[in-house]
Amino acid sequence: MFSRSFLTTLLLSSLVAARVVPASNGSCTNPVVRKEWRELTDGEKAEYIRAAVCLRGLPSEKYAEIEAVTTRMDELVWTHSTLQPQIHFVANFLPWHRWYLQLHEDLLRTECGFKGTQPYWDWSIDADAQNMPNSPIFDPVTGFGGDGKLTGSTVPGFGRCVVDGPFANTNLTIAMGWPDMNVRGNRLHCFTREFNSAEGSDENGVTIIGDMQVTAYNSRVMNTIYGFDNFEGMVMMLEGLPHAQIHSVIFGDMGPSTSPNEPLFFLHHANVDRAWAKWQGRNATRLSDYSGFNDAAETVSASIDDEMPILELGEVQPIVKDYMDTQAGPLCYTYTDST
Ligand SMILES: [Cu+2]
């Protein structure tokens, strides 16, 4: 999409440019604002997509021993996928993904010269409009492209591809995940989606898209989530219902534990993170409300002082309590519609 010299120029300029890193001494006086995709100008949308494409093209620097990891993006995918049982349906789901989103945003800035802020995708808007398949997020020109289409190819992993938008099959092949959900490595395939309503396929074998289960992530569901008075109840519903259903109604690369392959992963998780921030409301009690277990068997109680696993992805092991407040410690951002 971009010439090598253009990328090199970007890389060099990002090396000398001051990194937009919030103060780590706890003073966050000027938080950056994460906006909903629809609130961005076309220029801001193009800038985010440019940076997201860029990150997918940069060579990896970590996990040298893992053959499937060849790009910077693969490093993020590999980490998320390998840690899957330690970061989902356990207490650290929200703070871990908050850390991960910030790391991704920092990479966009430092390695791809990104000038904007991580956007979020408020899917409850599309759910309330009962028009999920036509969300502007899937726009082929100003968005991320739409549903995967049958290509007629008999090559495994290339039979169904996203064919429009900036990540269409000609631009993006992916090493891990789909079509085998359980095997991460060396499964070269085109970037794909399979919109569905979990109703299987029709008599012609075509996946039934239906309403894409909008009742699982509409504003009614979100209001129920905001109504919980404790962290554990809130996160259980947030993760289990709207978060999980968005992964499964888009499916394709959004389905398995390698889902950061899907560029929308980061806008989806920014919205999940926004829901948590909105629930917290910068209320002192809620900013320290953290409980649950560190394992699925519920034998190890979680503590706000726990370190979070990151494999090779960072130099400093993050601690849960530093990721409770979006405007303190290593974080300094806010969301539009966060109260
Ligand atoms: Cu995840």
**Residues 59-72: pLDDT tens digits?**
999 999 988 899 99
How far is ligand 1, taken at its centre, from the CA of residue 277, in Å? 17
CA 39-41-46 angle, to 5 degrees, is 115
pLDDT tens string 30-43: 999 999 999 999 99
How many other CB atoms sit within 10 Å of the CB of residue 327?
Answer: 17
Distance in angstroms (rounded) separating the CA atoms of residues 184 and 258: 7
How far is ligand 1, taken at its centre, from the CA of residue 87, in Å? 7
pLDDT of residue 159 exceeding 50, the answer is: yes
CA dihedral 44, 80, 300, 95 (to 10 degrees): -10
How far is ligand 1, taken at its centre, from the CA of residue 233, in Å? 19
- Residue whose token pair is 């590999």: 78
What is the CATH T-level fold of the domain 35-335, as seen in this structure?
di-copper center containing domain from catechol oxidase (1.10.1280)
How far is ligand 1, taken at its centre, from the CA of residue 265, in Å? 9
How far is ligand 1, taken at its centre, from the CA of residue 110, in Å? 23
How far is ligand 1, taken at its centre, from the CA of residue 84, in Å? 7
Greater confidence (21 vs 216) lies with 216
Phi/psi at 258 (5° precision): -90, 20
How many other CB atoms sit within 10 Å of the CB of residue 240?
Answer: 12
Instruction: Tell me 239's DSSP state.
Output: I
pLDDT of residue 58 exceeding 50, the answer is: yes
How far is ligand 1, taken at its centre, from the CA of residue 257, in Å? 7
- Residue whose token pair is 């990151």: 310
How far is ligand 1, taken at its centre, from the CA of residue 17, in Å? 31
How far is ligand 1, taken at its centre, from the CA of residue 80, in Å? 6
Distance of CA 53 to the CA centre of its chain: 15
Greater confidence (141 vs 12) lies with 141
Domain assignments of the chain as residue spans, ordered by start = 35-335
pLDDT tens string 275-331: 999 999 989 999 999 999 999 899 999 999 999 999 999 889 999 999 999 999 999
How far is ligand 1, taken at its centre, from the CA of residue 121, in Å? 16
pLDDT tens string 82-133: 999 999 999 999 999 999 999 999 999 999 999 999 999 999 999 999 999 9
Distance of CA 242 to the CA centre of its chain: 14
How far is ligand 1, taken at its centre, from the CA of residue 228, in Å? 22
Distances in whole angstroms, Cα of residue 64 to Cα of each of 59, 174, 176, 189, 316: 11, 17, 16, 21, 20
How far is ligand 1, taken at its centre, from the CA of residue 5, in Å? 34
Contact 290, 320 (CB under 8 A): yes
How far is ligand 1, taken at its centre, from the CA of residue 4, in Å? 32
- Residue whose token pair is 């100008």: 41
How many other CB atoms sit within 10 Å of the CB of residue 283?
Answer: 10
Contact 132, 211 (CB under 8 A): yes
